[in-house]
Amino acid sequence: MTSNRIPVVEKILSANDSIAAINRKRLDQTKTFAVNLMASPGAGKTSLILQTISALSGRVKLGVIEGDTAPVTIDADRVTDAGMPAVQINTGGDCHLDAPMIDIGLNQLPLDQLDLLIVENVGNLVCPAAFNLGTHANVLIASIPEGDDKPYKYPAIYRGLDVLIINKVDLLPYVRFDMDYFRTGVEILNPGVTIFEVSCTTGDGIDAWAEWLVSRVTEIKGK
Amino acid sequence: MHELAVTESILEIANRHAVAAGATKITGIYITLGKLSSIVDDSVQFYWDIISQATLAEGAVLHFNRVPAKMRCNDCSAEYEMQDQLAPCPNCESNNLTLISGDEFWLESIEIEKETGEIE
């Protein structure tokens, strides 16, 4: 009997990453720009999706993959009611979506007819950050009532962002939230990240976000 | 919270490499883990003890090599280790920083036993 140490040097989530790469390839082939939308529960993920659907109505064909921990179709129903194809992925209590779940979702959507896909991740600021889905952009919604310390407490999710949406800005006069302190934390983790301040209740700022999406869709169509 | 998925992945990778090397047993697993990778060692260990049962890796000891989070200032080029709280560059107060280590998460090596097959 001999004992020895052998090198492995493999990323622990490499199996997920390779499926994410396949997802990305499919999305590129159908020229569908895909967004991984993350946030804590109650930050306004579904509200933002509904606002986005109405802002892009008639201009961009979009579909939604809804990640939920429990088999309730409330969010997916709201999207379907708004006239868009939605697939619900029930994670069975799991705290995040992973690339194989997105693969299942993609199989159920008319991808070649979609310009934009929004994946609504499970409400959580920790786990979704670790799993690459194969989408083109990571977007986080931070909402004012959650507090200004979130970048400091959940650095991993802020690090990998392409876009940060600050929602519920209409509540700023009523909530103790130091925007400079918040933005400093974001800046340290992710210098120059694109930021939109919005209110899904009043509709403020939604247009700028919608235009950003339109630009990305135009870009991918041109490739 | 996603440690079960992560632990299953560790087990899959370790077993695959052990089989390829002709191992009869895995005795140690060496994991490199950046400070910012939000994985709880104790939780991985908890799942490990359950899911490694009846595999080559049963009883293998998990070793975690924690890599500190290091930043480089893009304005004054200072390099420093990030402590528990996010903070601007201690040298020039800039927020324009690049993370140079701290989000590692890989299986570095495994320790295995194998039969030598020698006849005495």
What does the alpha-carbon distance between residue A159 and residue A16 come to, in Å, rounded to a whole number?
19
How many helices (H) and strands (E) chain A has is answered by 8, 8
- Asked, for residue A193, whether it belongs to a domain, the answer is yes
B112 vs A10: CB contact, 8 Å cut-off? no
> For chain A, how many structural domains are there in total?
1
Q: What mean pLDDT comes out for the span B71-83?
A: 92
Within chain A, which residues score under 70 in pLDDT?
1, 71-72
A15 vs B9: CB contact, 8 Å cut-off? yes
Residues of B in contact with A8 (CB under 8 A): 13-14, 17, 107-110
Angle at the Cα of B46 from the Cα atoms of A95 and B68, rounded to 5 degrees: 75
Q: What is the pLDDT of residue A76?
A: 75
Is residue B119 predicted with pLDDT exceeding 70? no
- Asked, for residue A212, whether it belongs to a domain, the answer is yes
Residue A29 belongs to what domain range? 14-221
Pair B17, B110: CB distance under 8 Å: yes
- What is the residue extent of each domain of chain B? 3-67+101-113
Q: What is the pLDDT of residue B117?
A: 58
Pair A97, A128: CB distance under 8 Å: yes
Residue among B36, B88, B107 whose CB faces A155 most closely: B36
Cβ burial A187-209 (10 Å sphere, 16+ → b, else e): bbbbeebeebbbbbeeeebbeeb
- Asked, for residue A4, whether it belongs to a domain, the answer is no
Residue of B nearest to A152 (CA): B86
DSSP A109: S
ipTM: 0.80
Q: What is the pLDDT of residue A1?
A: 65
B107 vs A2: CB contact, 8 Å cut-off? no
Is residue B66 predicted with pLDDT exceeding 80? yes
Pair B104, B67: CB distance under 8 Å: yes
**Single-letter amino acid, residue B66:** R
φ/ψ (deg, to 5) at B46: -60, -50
What does the alpha-carbon distance between residue B1 and residue A158 come to, in Å, rounded to a whole number?
18
User: Can you give the pTM of this predicted structure?
Assistant: 0.89
B113 vs A3: CB contact, 8 Å cut-off? yes
Q: Does B8 touch chain A (CB under 8 A)?
A: no
Q: What is the pLDDT of residue B3?
A: 87
Q: Does A126 touch chain B (CB under 8 A)?
A: yes
Tokens of A96: 């995040």
What does the alpha-carbon distance between residue A169 and residue A201 come to, in Å, rounded to a whole number?
9
Q: What mean pLDDT comes out for the span B6-30?
A: 95
Window 42-61 of B: residues touching A by CB (8 A cutoff) are none
Q: Does B30 touch chain A (CB under 8 A)?
A: yes
Is residue B118 predicted with pLDDT exceeding 90? no
What does the alpha-carbon distance between residue A147 and residue A169 come to, in Å, rounded to a whole number?
12
- Asked, for residue A8, whether it belongs to a domain, the answer is no
- Asked, for residue A9, whether it belongs to a domain, the answer is no
Mean pLDDT of chain B: 90
Residue with tokens 């870009």: A219
Q: What is the pLDDT of residue B120?
A: 41
Is residue B13 predicted with pLDDT exceeding 50? yes
SS3 (DSSP) at B52: coil
Measured between its terminal Cα atoms, the distance across chain B in Å is 51
Q: What is the pLDDT of residue A72?
A: 66
Q: What is the maximum span of chain A, computed from C-alpha positions, in angstroms? A: 71
CATH number of B3-67+101-113: 3.30.2320.50
Rg (CA), chain B: 19
CATH of the domain at A171: 3.40.50.300
